[in-house]
Amino acid sequence: MARPTKYKPEFAKQASQICKLGATDKDLADIFGVDERTINTWKQKHDEFFQSLKKGKDYFDCKVETALAERAIGFKHPEEKIFLNGGEVIRIETTKHYPPDVTACIYWLNNRKSKEWASRKAVEAEITVDKLPEGTGVLMTPDVLSIDDWTKLSKEANQNLTKKEKKFMAP
């Protein structure tokens, strides 16, 4: 006979609220006093629990995406600065500016536009060998690109990048 479940229907709403704050399944397990495998079982057996987790996690993920996008392109927000001048408190409303963050840009583009911006590009090559050089068991490989070839490829890549920039900067 199986052990009675600790699951209660109100866990669905609680889990959603907790996930909106960034909780993981491990965090939920700790909060509900169960093993992480139990959380996975509840997700399988109780669709309302699964859907509430999904909704809460999607909400938090959206907040993180927004924060990353703002960090990548830079952002500003109102801020109050407080000074003390001769014993008098002075409050001044200002705007705090955060410049774009290159690392956030790279991360965003590598993940969202990976075909154009991936750090590593896969190179496919097919080599056929009719006959290995006599007396060797070593496969001969073609020469690497010359400096001239690299220069040409670099110029083409820069031209393509300039075209893309103009396309997106056009009004």
Higher pLDDT, 105 or 158: 105
pLDDT of res. 163: 72
Q: How many residues does the chain have?
A: 171
Closest CA to 10 of 58, 36, 42: 42
**Mind listing the pLDDT tens digit for each residue in 74-131?**
999 999 999 999 999 999 999 999 999 998 888 888 888 888 887 665 565 565 555 5
Residue keyed to tokens 């060797």: 136
Task: Answer whether residue 167 shows pLDDT above 80.
Answer: no
Give how far Cα 161 sits from Cα of 2, 10, 102, 154, Å: 62, 53, 17, 11
pTM of the model: 0.57
**Mind listing the pLDDT tens digit for each residue in 1-33?**
677 788 999 999 999 999 999 999 999 999 999
Q: What end-to-end distance do the CA atoms of the chain give, in Å?
A: 69
Percent of the chain with pLDDT over 90: 55
pLDDT of res. 142: 52
pLDDT of res. 134: 61
**Helical H segments across the chain, by residue range:** 11-19, 25-32, 36-45, 47-73, 102-112, 114-117, 147-169
Closest CA to 109 of 121, 118, 120, 100: 118
**Mind listing the pLDDT tens digit for each residue in 27-71?**
999 999 999 999 999 999 999 999 999 999 999 999 999 999 999
**Mind listing the pLDDT tens digit for each residue in 117-152?**
876 655 655 655 555 556 555 555 455 666 677 677
As to burial, measured by CB atoms within 10 angstroms (0-12 exposed, 13-18 middle, 19+ buried), residue 31 is middle
